[in-house]
Amino acid sequence: MPGPTGDVLLAGDLRALRKARRMTLADLGARLDRSVGWLSQVERGLSDPSVEDLKRLAQAFGVPLGLFFRHEAPHEREMGVVVRAGRRRSLGSSESGLTEELLSPDLGGSFELVRSEFAPGARLSEPALRQTEEAGYVASGRFDVEIDGTWHELGPGDSFRFRQKPFRWRNPGLEPAVVIWAISPPVY
């Protein structure tokens, strides 16, 4: 049997993002100046959004546009279960010194798993605050995280967790830092 199409996978991701943000089709339609009917068709894989539509959806959800573009669809038996290394979705660009890959098979679960690679000297200048619980495991490199005003210096094998607190990060080292990050509910 053939695997799922990219349209079906995109439709599921769009529905999951909308629900994670507690938006109705009418809420999203008003933001995009699109009809509820059209959005419903897109979420069911019956209509294809244009690249301009995808840009507007990414902006409405606060996610990078690249999230909507995938590599080859997984085999049906692996869909929703396995993500092959060569099929991970990139999240954003490396311009900020941070590159990320979605390790979770899709956005429909109660959490997402992300591989984050921080370039030497990269930093998040202003604290971020998300309505999430987050945890991370430093796989390699040096990684500092400030949680609720307190900096923590971490190295390989160290981990952290916080819930709905302001945070920012930096890589003070001379090599990339790799952190495996779990976020609930999903934000991408």
Looking at the structure, tell me whether residues 120 and 168 fall in a common domain. yes
The pLDDT assigned to 70 comes to 59
Q: What distance in Å separates the CA atoms of residue 102 and residue 187, rounded to the nearest whole number?
A: 11
Q: pLDDT (tens digit, 9 = 90+) per residue, 47-70?
A: 888 888 888 888 888 777 777 765
| Position 128 in a domain | yes
As a whole-number percent, the residues of the chain with pLDDT over 70 amount to 89
Q: Are 63 and 98 found together in one domain?
A: no
Q: What pLDDT does residue 82 have?
A: 81
Report the alpha-carbon distance of residue 143 to residue 80 in Å, rounded.
Answer: 31
78 pLDDT more than 50? yes
Q: Is the pLDDT of residue 1 over 50?
A: no
- pTM for the model: 0.69
Query: Could you tell me the residue range of the domain that residue 159 belongs to?
Result: 88-184
User: Virtual CA dihedral for 85, 160, 110, 118, nearest 10 degrees?
Assistant: -40
103 and 53 in a single domain? The answer is no
My answer on whether 127 and 179 are in the same domain is yes
Q: What is the pLDDT of residue 92?
A: 60
Q: First vs last Cα of the chain: how many Å apart?
A: 30
The verdict on 130 and 51 lying in the same domain is no
Cα separations in angstroms, 152 against 52, 80, 109, 169: 41, 35, 29, 9
CATH number of the domain residue 105 falls in: 2.60.120.10
Q: Is residue 75 situated within a structural domain?
A: no
Cα separations in angstroms, 128 against 55, 69, 83: 23, 26, 28
Residue 181 has pLDDT above 90, yes or no: yes
Q: Which of 38, 68, 98 is the last residue of a domain?
A: 68
Structural domain total, the chain: 2
Residues 51 and 93 in one domain: no
Domain presence at residue 77: no
Q: Residue 94 domain-assigned?
A: yes
Query: Which helix or strand (DSSP H or E) is residue 51 part of?
Result: helix 51-61
Last residue of a domain, one of 14, 40, 68: 68
Q: Please, are residues 122 and 96 in contact by the beta-carbon 8 Å criterion?
A: yes
Pair 154, 102 in one domain: yes
* One domain, residues 109 and 167: yes
100 in the same domain as 165: yes
Contacts of residue 147, Cβ cutoff 8 Å, sequence gap at least 6: 160, 162, 165, 166, 167
